[in-house]
A and B are shown apart, each in its own frame.
Chain A
Amino acid sequence: MPPQPDPLRRFWRGALLSLPGALAFWWFIAVGYLGALLAPLVGWSLSLSVPHLVVELVPVGLDWTLITTLSPIDSPLDLLALQIPPVRFTASFALFWGLVLATPIPWGERGYQLLTGTAFVMMPLVVMMISLFALFRIGLYLNHTPIVGQMPPEQWYLGAPFPGWIYHLLGVGRQLSALVLPMVLPVLAWAAFNGEVINRVLLSRLRQRPETTA
């Protein structure tokens, strides 16, 4: 009987193949479909959180245009349209898919995790990330104060600014959604599905290491 390959090695070898593969699949095939699926969900999420500020979210190619109810101070019948780039957020799907495909588990289990993880875990999380990003952009136009390295526009708009503490929370939300969560959430989602594998393959090896060296 041939010896079983080390599961940790299998995982790293799988990750080397599956992560670039998942990225290529996301960029060349899935990115447009994901955008089309997510746009109505993000639009719905924004219309729930700030219904008085959002008209609609229109996908235009890979980017989205968020039409707000905000009017410039000198042309009150015009409406502010903001560009929202969903691509940087949907890259999280590729990371999740790559990790699941690299995990040493049966193929049926992988398929289950890919489907349920994409639909019921990653989708809501990515909708939340894009919504946080969009809310921050609206806040920047309303409050007109530099925050987290972002500068407000020159133009003023007709609308009450958010209270200071909410504006600062939006700043934190923007930093999390743009810089931290796209990398962290897919790993957490993958870990939530594969706690037992992580414990068996990764942590058990780490626990063994000091004994081996001694």
Chain B
Amino acid sequence: MRRLLPLLLLALLAGCGSEQATHTTALKRLLAGDYAGAAPLLTQLAEAGQPAAQFRLGILYLEGKGVAADPQRAATLLNQAAEAGEVGAAYLLAQALRTGGRLPADPQRARQLLEQLATRHYAPAEWELAKMLEKGEAGAADPAAALEHYRQAAQHGYRDAVLRLIQAYRNAELGLVQDTAEAQHWQESLRQRAF
């Protein structure tokens, strides 16, 4: 067994290296617009459980590029990648489920995905979640929670969230009282950050 251990380690390293090389080739093909050439490589990696490949392949199936459009397969792949922590998959799946264009609308699942992304301080997700909470898209409207997520998105550099906060403080929205000083503070942060 002791003799086999180095060989097993080498095989494992070689396996990782070849997987990485296949992924790189697939991404280069995507970059060149060769979606049909990238799809088989991504399929091979996705079946091996690689979240980044599941994400890209999910997009190909969602948009019907290089493969026949298959929303069901796209949703499965994006869900798998999102569960494995792939930010892009979780965000795009949440967007698709929220609006219900290419996939059947599922605001509850969209909200769940956005909440997971918000814990990782991903500002675009914090912004979308705040909008859902403000409009009450997946349950009752919750202006206080929406305000908190707008604030977090603004702190993480999301320009539209800063603009929404300025508007809310000026017009006493989201349960706030009118506060021109706070609106001015956010206006100043907008100027300093040169968004």
B interface, CB within 8 angstroms of A: 20, 24, 27-28, 30-31, 35, 52, 56, 59-60, 63, 65, 85, 87-88, 91-92, 120-124, 156-159, 193-195
- A73's nearest neighbour on chain B, judged by CB, is B124
User: 12 new A-B pairs (CB below 8 Å) besides A56-B28, A156-B158, A161-B123?
Assistant: A52-B52, A55-B31, A67-B28, A77-B63, A77-B65, A145-B156, A146-B194, A156-B124, A158-B88, A158-B92, A159-B88, A161-B120
Q: Measured between alpha carbons, how far is A71 from B55 in the docked complex, in Å?
A: 11
Q: Please report which residues of chain A, range 46-90, place their CB below 8 angstroms from some CB of chain B when the two chains form the complex.
A: 47, 51-52, 55-56, 67, 69, 71, 73, 76-79
> CB-CB < 8 A to B156: which residues of A?
144-145, 161
Q: Measured between alpha carbons, how far is A56 from B59 in the docked complex, in Å?
A: 22
Q: Measured between alpha carbons, how far is A170 from B59 in the docked complex, in Å?
A: 31
Q: Which of B28, B60, B158 contacts A55 (CB 8 A)?
A: B28
- B56's nearest neighbour on chain A, judged by CB, is A77
Main secondary structure of the interface of A (DSSP, over half): loop
Report yes or no: B124 in contact with A77, Cβ–Cβ below 8 A: no
Report yes or no: A69 in contact with B59, Cβ–Cβ below 8 A: no
A interface, CB within 8 angstroms of B: 47, 51-52, 55-56, 67, 69, 71, 73, 76-79, 143-146, 151-152, 154, 156, 158-161
> CB-CB < 8 A to B59: which residues of A?
76-77
Q: Which of A79, A152, A158 contacts B91 (CB 8 A)?
A: A158
- A156's nearest neighbour on chain B, judged by CB, is B124
Q: Measured between alpha carbons, how far is A55 from B120 in the docked complex, in Å?
A: 24
Q: Measured between alpha carbons, how far is A207 from B139 in the docked complex, in Å?
A: 80
Chain A min CB distance to B129 (Å): 15
> CB-CB < 8 A to A154: which residues of B?
159, 195
Q: Which of B24, B28, B35, B157 contacts A145 (CB 8 A)?
A: B157
Whether A79 contacts B120 in the complex (CB less than 8 A), given A144-B156, A144-B157, A159-B87, comes out as no
> CB-CB < 8 A to A67: which residues of B?
27-28, 31
> CB-CB < 8 A to A78: which residues of B?
31
Q: Measured between alpha carbons, how far is A146 from B30 in the docked complex, in Å?
A: 31
Report yes or no: A55 in contact with B52, Cβ–Cβ below 8 A: no
Report yes or no: A69 in contact with B52, Cβ–Cβ below 8 A: yes
> CB-CB < 8 A to B195: which residues of A?
154
Most buried by A among B85, B120, B121: B121
Listed A/B pairs (8) with beta-carbon separation below 8 Å: A55-B31, A77-B35, A143-B157, A144-B158, A154-B159, A158-B91, A160-B120, A161-B156
Q: Which of A47, A76, A151, A156 contacts B194 (CB 8 A)?
A: A151
Chain B min CB distance to A86 (Å): 21
Q: Measured between alpha carbons, how far is A52 from B24 in the docked complex, in Å?
A: 10
User: What are the 5 A-B residue pairs with the smallest beta carbon separation, nearest first?
Assistant: A158-B88, A144-B157, A160-B87, A55-B27, A145-B157
> CB-CB < 8 A to A144: which residues of B?
123, 156-158
Report yes or no: B88 in contact with A76, Cβ–Cβ below 8 A: yes
> CB-CB < 8 A to A73: which residues of B?
91, 124
